[in-house]
Every structure is written in structure tokens, then in C-alpha cells.
Amino acid sequence: MTFCAPWRKDEESVCKELKFLKQFGGHKNIASYYGAYYRAPLTECSSELLEIVLEYCGGGSFYNLISKTNGHSLKETWIGYVCKEVLKSYVCYSLITYISISPGVAPHPQEPAIHRDIKSLNIMLTETAKVKIIDFGNSFDLDPQTGLCHEAEGTPHWIRQKGQRLAYDTKCDIWSLGITAIEMAEGKAPYADQYPVLHLIREAQPPKLRSNRWSQHFVSFLEYCLKKDPSERGSAEELLQHPFVTQLPPKKIIRAVIEKHLRTLPNGPAKGIHYI
């Protein structure tokens, strides 16, 4: 799978993307990074392109899966499976990790990081329904002294900030996961048709599922993800112990069902090249 980025248009974001892909691309729930290279401009007026080569995710994004599924709503077990796999990746990059500079050199600690753009468009499926996170262009290493970030980033409907100067930590990704779970259940994020939305998200009560057909475990899981106070929000480790993800059917069964569903989608869900 190749991502094409206009190199000079957003050099800082692309460099950040490469940094995090190199650092975390070995995790089983993060798309593997194979390299990057320049490509000549397509026309005299177009920009030079940097192609980023990642693990092929032939199942497409969950955004595509939602849009191509009847009712634009995924099964609860599928949503639980996705949440569990994404939480596993959180543990990878939200905790202090140890990076070895070279063979024989003792590893040194790497500060925790945050993704800052978790949403269905950035969660991919392989052809065998393995979950892979992509797009680390908004990712950020937290302050080594405070463990916080002060920059306002992310896609508005999936983030929760009290104000532009609010400092936040890894719990911002937990909020985004909760919003993404609602997106997978209802076909779109809360307030999807309303702009501007940041003020509404700050002032309103945390969003909830509109239908009462979902299990109490799912409702409870979302409540822990979508606490307005980050200190009350569940951590990735805590949420991995929640019944919503611990009481799922075996992973191989869920994957087999999703894989079968992918084969029924019109025209296939995935494309090989994405422009970012």
C-alpha cells in the first residue's frame, strides 16, 4: 500500500509520519513501514511527491466498510474486536518504550506518544481482517517532564478539548476511540452534520448511542472512553480488561466473519494508492 504525500506542501507532517512509522511500525496492529522514496511531479505545475510504502491493507479502511455495509452499522462484536486491537496498539506507543540504537548498545527510553487522529478512516483491515492503524502525521511525543501536549490537533468531531490552551495526554486517544466506536455503530460520528463543532463538544454532555439495541457492556465501555474529565477516563490497559472486549468470541471467528463479509462488498473495499 502506497501513500503519496506532496513533500514540500507539508514537510513537517511527513517527517513526523516517517518518524512514528519507523518507531512503531513493528507492532502487529500498526501498518508495517517498508520505506519511502521521491517520485517526479506528475506535471510541470504539480509538487514533488514522496511515496511512503506500507504494509498492504487489502480490506480497506473501516470508513469504507461502514459506508458499504447495509444500514451503515457494524455488528457489535466487530466493533469490540476493533476497539480491542486498537487498544493493544495504544499500549505500544502510549507507554514508555525502549528503542535500541544499534546491536550491542543498551536501549534508551522513548517518551510516550499520542496518535491524535484516531477515526475509522485511519483504521485499516488486511484481507484477512487484521486491524492496522495508519496516518501518524498528527502524532506527537509527549513532554518528557509533564507527559502532556499543548498543541491543538486532530479531526474536530473526534477530539475533546476544553480550550485551545488545554494540555492533554494519552487519554485524548481514548476519547477518539469512543467516538470511532459510535461512528461504527451509527454510521457517522456524533454531531457529524454540525459545524463548527468544537464548542458544542466542549459544552454538551458526552455523546451516547442513540439506539437501545446495544448491550450494556458496549454502553459502559463508551462511558469510560467518553468521560469529560480525562483523569476519569479509562486507560488502554484498564479498557482491555473491560467485559466489552474480554467477553468477545474468539478472534479467529470474528476475523473469519469479517473476511467473508469483505468478499461480498461491491468492487472490493481497497485501493492500492492513497493521496494524503
Catalytic positions: 117
Of 114, 135, 112, nearest in space to 123 by CA: 135
As a three-state string, the secondary structure of 102-140 is CCCCCCEEECCEECCCCCHHHEEECCCCCEEECCCCCCE
Number of helices and strands in the chain (H, E): 9, 11
- Residues 222 and 209: their CA atoms lie apart, in Å, by 9
C-alpha cell at 207: 455523546
Residue 141 DSSP label: E
Q: In 3D, which of 139, 134, 136 has the Cα closest to residue 122?
A: 134
30 and 89 Cβ atoms separated by less than 8 Å: yes
Angle at 20 between CA 74 and CA 93, to 5 degrees: 65
Nearest to 14 by CA among 27, 42, 41, 33: 33
Residues 61/163, Cβ–Cβ less than 8 Å: no
Cβ-in-10-Å burial (0-12, 13-18, 19+) of 73 comes to middle
Q: Kindly list the distances between the CA atom of residue 149 and the CA atoms of 97, 139, 159, 216, 272, in Å, as whole numbers in the listed order.
A: 18, 11, 14, 33, 34
Find the helix packing angle between 216-225 and 76-94, rounded to 10°.
30
